[in-house]
Amino acid sequence: MSDFKVNHREGAGIHVIELKGYLDAHTATDLESAFQRLINDQKFRIVVNCRDLTYISSAGLGVFMAYIEDVRKNQGDIKLTNMSSKVYNVFDLLGFPILYEIYKDEQEAIRKFGESSTGR
C-alpha cells in the first residue's frame, strides 16, 4: 500500500494535523493515535489539513467520528481543510459537511477558531 503520513504542528494554540497519502483501515490507526495524543494533552482545537490526502476509506472517515464528540464536549472542534475534489466527494457523499466544518484553506479554519473563541 502507498504511504500514509500524519504530520503535526502547532501555532497559537491551534493544532494542525497534515495528512498525506492513503487513509484506509490499515493506516487509520496512525491518525487515531495522533488524535488520541492531542486529546490526552487536552488540545482540542484541531485543524486537519487534507491537501496531500489522496484517498480516504470508510474506516478513515470513522476516525473523525470517533473523536469529534470528545473534542466538541471540551469546547474544541475538528475542522477539515484543503481537500481535493475527489476526497471532498467522499466526505460529501456521507454527509460530512453537515456535521463538520470544511474549509478550502487552512488559514480560514484557523481564523474561524479565533472568531469562535472571541465570540464566546
Partner 1 sequence: MTRLRTTLLLGAMVLAIVMVFVYDTVRAVVDLDLMGLLILRELLIVAVVLAGYWLLGLALRGERKSIAKEIGRLTIGSAGAIFLLGAMLFFGPAKGTRTADLLPQDSVFGVLRGVTLGVILGGAALWTIQSLRQIVLFKRRKESQRNVIIYLSLLGTTAAASSPVLPLEGSFVLPLFVPLTILAAIVLSFRQNWIVYLSRREKLYTLLYAFLSFLFGLLTVVLIAQDHPVIIEFQQFSRSIYILVQQTAVLSTIYFGMAFISTLFHMPTAEVFERKQSELSSLHNLTRLTSQLLDFDTLVQTVTQMAQEVCGAKAVWLELLAKAPDGSWSTQVVAHRDISLAEVDEVRVALGSSYRDLVVEARSVVLVDDTWNDRRTKGLRDIGRLRGSLISVPLTARKELIGILHAAREMTQGFDQDDIDVLSSFGDHVTIAIENARLISRSIERERLQQELLVARRMQRQLLPSSVPQLERASFSASSESSTEVGGDYYDLVELGRDRWGIAVGDVSGKGVSAAFYMAEVKGIVLSLSRVCSSPKELLVRANEALHGSLERKAFVSLVYAVLNERTGDLILARAGHCPVIHGRGSSGRLIRPNGLGLGMAATDVFEGATEEQVIRLEPGDRCLFYTDGITEARDRNGEEFGYDRLMEIVGRSEDLSADDLKSRILAAVRTFADGAAYTDDMTLVVLQWRAPSAGPSASVPRP
CB of 27 to partner 1, least distance (A): 13
**Site size with partner 1, rule: CB under 8 A:** 17
Q: Is the separation of the CB atoms in 19 and 6 below 8 Å?
A: yes
12 or 98, CB closer to partner 1? 98
Q: How far is C-alpha 81 from the geometric centre of its chain's CA atoms?
A: 8
Which residues have CB under 8 Å from 78's CB, separation 6+? 46, 47, 48, 64, 67, 68, 71, 100
Q: Show the CA angle centred on residue 33, arms to residues 11 and 107, nearest 5°.
A: 25
Please report, as residue ranges, which positions from 54 to 73 form the binding site for partner 1 (by CB under 8 A): 57-59, 61-63, 65-66, 69
Give the integer Cα–Cα distance in Å for 90 and 82: 14
Comparing CB distances to partner 1, the nearer of 57 and 116 is 57
- Mark 8-27 with x for binding to partner 1 (rule: CB under 8 A) and - for no binding: ----------------xx--
* Residue 39 lies near partner 1 (rule: CB under 8 A): no
C-alpha cell at 72: 466538541
Residue bearing cell 494542525: 16
Contact positions vs partner 1 (CB under 8 A): 2, 24-25, 57-59, 61-63, 65-66, 69, 93-95, 98-99
